[in-house]
A and B are shown apart, each in its own frame.
Chain A
Amino acid sequence: MSAKDYSLLGPDGAEAVESGLAAAQWYHSDIPRKEMKALMKREDGPAIRDTLILFCLMIVFVVGAIALWPSPWSIPLWLCYGVLYGSAMDSRWHECGHGTAFRTAWMNDLVYQIAAFMMVRNPVTWRWSHARHHTDTIIVGRDPEIVAMRPPKLFRILANLVGLADAWAGWSRMLLNASGRLHPEEVTFIPASEQAKAIRVARVWLAIYLATIALALWLGSILPLMVVGLPRLYGAWHHVLTGVLQHAGLAENVTDHRLNSRTVYMNPVSRFLYWNMNYHIEHHMFPMVPYHRLPALHAKIKHDLPAPSPSIWAAYCEVIPAVLRQLRYEDFFIKRELPDSARPYREDLHQVAI
């Protein structure tokens, strides 16, 4: 089989459109409408609580770190601040982008803008990119957010543990957008009416970074950059650690999230940082369910899903051998087994995946 082309402008994307894989109907577990409405219901309380905890912790850690700077005793505080900035903001960007974290629209929008800045993801571009990820989840040539391609780019994934690839790409794209241009791939998924907004945001961000750099030069210290910008690097590891598990090693080009997504039981700290996105099959099947109701959704449909990985460690015990095998055999993928209580897969979806 020839190598796949994951770019949005290549032949695999065009083939997905032609074959009907793009914008297809996806499998959903059955949930009565009344129960689904209860699961989808929005409220502000849980996200206000979690956001206050998050920002208060960030302030405590960063104030402590600045007070102790440049002593080595500041390092643990920077690491704590960094993981909240460079990892927890990933899930806040994600959930508020869906508009499901809060019931109140402006609260979603405010946290979305802050988190997008910290994650160096243009809030306009990435809103559309993520919409495409949900339309065409792990469809080669259509999904712009495939992390573990085949063969997997292991160096890129490892480099992203300290943000090197993604943050660098984000800042490079910011400079491109601030110059008034969009990348050709961005043009394929951002509507013309929205493109000017992406450029405006990039210019505001550039101004913030220039001000931070100017302050660092004036002080003769990298301290301002330790607060703004660099935490995206030294705090990125947790969102990569958890994010890789979402789809890595599983099937591509199938229209059943049970085949291409992974649910992993995680410890409470990781679930707080990740805002329950460890229930990833559930999130993809029903993206309107807020993060704080995903455990309840999981309880309702787990009879119809593959068994979840019992821990992050267990999930990596499955993912690492699969990804290493894909380095040599890029057609290999993990075929999920379903419990007897589940509705069966359409076997032809697996044939397409091969």
Chain B
Amino acid sequence: MTEWIDACAKDDIDPEDLIRFDHQGRSFAIYRSPDDAFYCTDGLCTHEQVHLADGLVMDHVIECPKHNGQFDYRSGEALRAPVCENLNTYTVKMEGERIWILI
């Protein structure tokens, strides 16, 4: 069963950056794109379970800090080895200044 979770404030995330959000033993990454849209994926790289929150956001790509694998954080698509498996993505909505994710 999915539910909406209040994850963070809009201003908690710089443009073209991400933050880590942990909830009930799961880790998520919430992104703010250069065009000021918000996205959410699993927080751990599908390659070796490294937290993506320490990685680098370039346009719509998140690069893992350990091995430089890349994903499109809008679709979760794996773009560059050593990642081969896509990331799970989650629906995001904004209510006022708050970011909610559907998990």
Residues of A within 8 A of B (CB): 23, 33, 36-37, 40-42, 98-100, 103, 105, 127-128, 131, 134-135, 191, 193-194, 286-288
Q: What are 21 inter-chain pairs, A to B, with CB distance below 8 A?
A: A23-B48, A23-B49, A36-B54, A40-B56, A42-B56, A98-B68, A99-B68, A99-B70, A99-B80, A100-B68, A103-B58, A105-B80, A127-B81, A127-B82, A128-B81, A128-B82, A135-B48, A194-B81, A288-B55, A288-B56, A288-B63
User: B37 interface residue, CB < 8 Å from A?
Assistant: no
- Residues in A neighbouring B63, C-beta threshold 8 A: 99, 288
Interface range for B: 10 to 19
Distance, CA A128 to CA B82, complexed state (A): 7
Distance, CA A286 to CA B54, complexed state (A): 10
User: B17 interface residue, CB < 8 Å from A?
Assistant: yes
Known: A23-B48, A127-B82, A287-B67. 7 other contacts (CB 8 A): A36-B54, A99-B63, A99-B68, A131-B82, A135-B66, A287-B66, A288-B63
Q: A23-B49, A37-B56 are in contact. Are A288 and B65 (CB under 8 A)?
A: yes
User: B61 — nearest CB in chain A belongs to which residue?
Assistant: A105
- Residues in B neighbouring A36, C-beta threshold 8 A: 54
Top 4 nearest A-B pairs (CB, nearest first) are A131-B82, A40-B56, A131-B67, A99-B68
User: B103 interface residue, CB < 8 Å from A?
Assistant: no
User: B94 interface residue, CB < 8 Å from A?
Assistant: no
Distance, CA A36 to CA B54, complexed state (A): 9
**Quick one: which of B54-103 are within 8 Å of A by CB?**
54-56, 58, 63, 65-68, 70, 80-82, 84
- Residues in A neighbouring B67, C-beta threshold 8 A: 131, 134-135, 287
Min CB gap B59→A, angstroms: 10
Min CB gap B35→A, angstroms: 18
Min CB gap B18→A, angstroms: 10
Distance, CA A91 to CA B48, complexed state (A): 25
Min CB gap A190→B, angstroms: 10
| Neighbour of B17 across the interface among A37, A127, A131, A194, CB < 8 A | A37
| Neighbour of B68 across the interface among A37, A194, A288, CB < 8 A | A288
| Neighbour of A193 across the interface among B55, B58, B65, B84, CB < 8 A | B84
Distance, CA A193 to CA B70, complexed state (A): 17
- Residues in A neighbouring B65, C-beta threshold 8 A: 286-288
The 0/1 profile, CB within 8 Å of A marked 1, for residues 1-43 of chain B is 0000000000000000100000000000000000000000000
Q: In the bound complex, do residue A134 and residue B58 qualify as a contact, i.e. CB atoms below 8 Å apart?
A: no
Min CB gap B39→A, angstroms: 18
Q: In the bound complex, do residue B56 and residue A134 qualify as a contact, i.e. CB atoms below 8 Å apart?
A: no
Most chain A CB within 10 A, of B17, B49, B82, is at: B82
Min CB gap B66→A, angstroms: 6
Most chain B CB within 10 A, of A98, A131, A134, A191, is at: A131
Most chain A CB within 10 A, of B48, B54, B58, B81, is at: B81
- Residues in B neighbouring A100, C-beta threshold 8 A: 68
- Residues in A neighbouring B81, C-beta threshold 8 A: 127-128, 194
User: A28 — nearest CB in chain B belongs to which residue?
Assistant: B54
- Residues in B neighbouring A128, C-beta threshold 8 A: 81-82
Distance, CA A33 to CA B54, complexed state (A): 8
- Residues in B neighbouring A194, C-beta threshold 8 A: 81, 84
Min CB gap B91→A, angstroms: 26
User: A192 — nearest CB in chain B belongs to which residue?
Assistant: B84
Min CB gap A233→B, angstroms: 29
- Residues in B neighbouring A135, C-beta threshold 8 A: 48, 66-67
Min CB gap B12→A, angstroms: 12
User: B54 — nearest CB in chain A belongs to which residue?
Assistant: A36
- Residues in A neighbouring B48, C-beta threshold 8 A: 23, 135
User: B70 — nearest CB in chain A belongs to which residue?
Assistant: A99
User: A197 — nearest CB in chain B belongs to which residue?
Assistant: B81
| Neighbour of B84 across the interface among A40, A42, A191, A286, CB < 8 A | A191
